[in-house]
Amino acid sequence: MPRQIHLALHPYGVGGPGQHGLWKDPRIAKNASIDIRYYIRQAQLAEEALFDALFIVDSQFINSTYPSHYLNRLEPLTLLSAVAVHTSHIGLVGTASSTYNSPFNLARRFASLDHISGGRAGWNVVTSFDTGTSRNYGLEEHLDYATRYGRALEAVEVIRGLWDSYEDDAFPASGDVFLDPTKLHALNHVGEHFRVDGPLNLSRSPQGQPVIFQAGVSEEGRNLAAAVAEGIYAPGSSLDAAHEYYTDVKRRTAAAGRDPDHIKIFIHGGPVVAPTDAAAREREREIFAEDNDFARNLALLGRGFGAHDFSVYDPDGPFPDVAHLAERGGRTGATKIIERARRENLTLRQVVDSVNEFKHSPFVGSPQTVADTIEQWFAADTFDGINLAFRTSEELEFFVESVVPLLQKRELFRTSYEADTLRGHLGLPVPANRYAS
């Protein structure tokens, strides 16, 4: 069977980063981010189009400058549990922090979603770069980069061990025997960051274990992906950058002794599709103008530096010395900003404008143009799938009606579901239980 594209849907609600003004669109319900009917409908539209997964992002710290969707949104696993009973095939991927959750709690919650959905759950492992999160969990200081990634790696190992607590045939439920106790296993883990006895009080699901997703472009992030990830959310700013990331992570995966085909890399895609290329490009410019506000962009810059308040500085003065904030924030992106500001002697205003300057998206144009570009990028080994985000349901529907059939005609996307689980959609193996003979 030829290699095919995977598609996931990432709902915006009332507007995430770069979509701050979306809530003003009359087609967007002002409570979309907390209305479960919105998410159910988005999932059903994606499922009708045979998408692989619905992806829900999350963070646990806000202030008044954060994007609209961040200010008032549902907790991912609660949301996805509700969506699960209104869908039958689409995968359900939720974001949860390994820094601010205990492994036992995460193992139980995601395993529960996996059972509720019949084997469609995925966990997007994040380490939380919002430094203010620490103060919501009784800690004075956010953990440093190395500690967060070390904790994440150990957390995944512990959680996978807990998911193996029961062998598949542990419950004969026959005669006087409900449980075969020889098929139940305590983990008894003692590590650098966690001590967890187990076992988990929940059996394995039809897909064995939820699928592990991860996102990260730093050295630590790429190494974590190569070690444990089965799906990755990756940057897709340019064809060359996406190809470099794709080949590098696949190489690291092979070096870690894993099959590179068992890690699926999804790039972000925010398509703008219109009947003609010119109309799509004009709409792309309009979207940029709607969201391009200096004060808002200044606040958004601060998020990568631990929600630092850049409004206290003279915008036309030199970019401030904030290198010490990068280590406990979004280090990779923050470091690049600092290095460029120093190299080019930029003011704070120039940094904000350069970070938020208009950039053409590759997936903008007529349906034919967008399908051609997707095919070109896919053939160039830049992704296994695209994590798609649309501003409105109407835009999602137009993509499904106009672009998806072109991909199907070229045999680049499925014409029917051939599996019932998320692992099945992605072509990932069911993990063997470590205790089974």
Q: Where are the domains of the chain?
A: 6-277+362-426, 293-355
| Residues 15-27, mean pLDDT to the nearest whole number | 87
Question: Which of 395, 407, 349, 339 is CA-nearest to residue 19?
Answer: 395
Residue 98 has pLDDT above 80, yes or no: yes
- CATH code matching the domain that covers 6-277+362-426, chosen among 3.20.20.30, 3.90.700.10, 2.60.40.420, 3.40.50.720: 3.20.20.30
* Average pLDDT in the chain: 92
Cα distances from 182 to residues 30, 118, 247, 268, 432, in angstroms, run 54, 26, 44, 45, 17
DSSP letter (8 states) at residue 411:
T
Question: Which of 272, 268, 298 is CA-nearest to residue 285?
Answer: 272
Answer yes or no: is 58 a known binding residue. yes
| Residues 272-281, mean pLDDT to the nearest whole number | 97
SS3 category, 339: helix
Higher-confidence residue: 140 or 12?
Answer: 12
CA dist 91 and 84 (Å) reads: 9
User: Looking only at Cα atoms, what is the longest distance across the chain?
Assistant: 79
DSSP letter (8 states) at residue 427:
T
Place of tokens 């992906």: 225
SS3 category, 16: coil
Answer yes or no: is 372 a known binding residue. no
Answer yes or no: is 35 a known binding residue. no
Residue 329 has pLDDT above 70, yes or no: no
Please report, rounded to a whole number, the percentage of residues in the chain having pLDDT higher than 90.
Answer: 73
Q: What is the pLDDT of residues 51-96, one digit of tens each?
A: 999 999 998 888 888 889 999 999 999 999 999 999 999 999 999 9
Cβ–Cβ under 8 Å, residues 236 and 242: yes
Q: Lowest-confidence range among 78-87, 152-161, 338-347?
A: 338-347
Q: What is the pLDDT of residues 108-132, one digit of tens each?
A: 999 999 999 999 999 999 988 777 7
> What does the pLDDT read at residue 357?
86
Question: Reduced to 3 DSSP states, what percent helix, strand and coil does the chain have, rounded to the nearest 5?
Answer: 45, 10, 45
